[in-house]
Amino acid sequence: AQSVTQLGSHVSVSEGALVLLRCNYSSSVPPYLFWYVQYPNQGLQLLLKYTTGATLVKGINGFEAEFKKSETSFHLTKPSAHMSDAAEYFCAVSQNTGGFKTIFGAGTRLFVKA
């Protein structure tokens, strides 16, 4: 069975500061890992994904994440936060078992202070 744990339901950073959102996963097979962002009253938008290959993946809006198998982690980072980054971020895991049912973490709400 797969699961995702996001550490911290709320994270607050100042504008221009580093953003670090933590995600740990559990999977019995090589996972596919994702970060989605949800802005208020909107749907889910894919930020980035890891499937195979390079463990450092870059996504939209300056975000990146590193897959660390030894730590079963896929933390999301951004060097400099912008006010527009304020949103809910979901880490997710899936596997290729004939479909790609995706399991989501509980989400981390990012607040950006001016």
- The vertex-72 CA angle with 103 and 57, nearest 5°, equals 80
Question: What are the backbone angles phi and psi of residue 28, rounded to the nearest 5°?
Answer: -85, -15
For other proteins, the closer of residues 18 and 60 by Cβ is 60
Q: Does residue number 32 form part of the binding site for other proteins (CB under 8 A)?
A: yes
Question: How many Å apart are CA 114 and CA 108, to the nearest integer?
Answer: 19
Residue matched to tokens 């504008």:
15
How far apart are CB 101 and other proteins at their closest, in Å? 5
User: Quick one: which of 49, 59, 72, 86 contacts other proteins (CB under 8 A)?
Assistant: 49
Positions touching other proteins (CB under 8 A) are: 32, 34, 36, 42-46, 49, 51, 90, 94, 96, 98-107
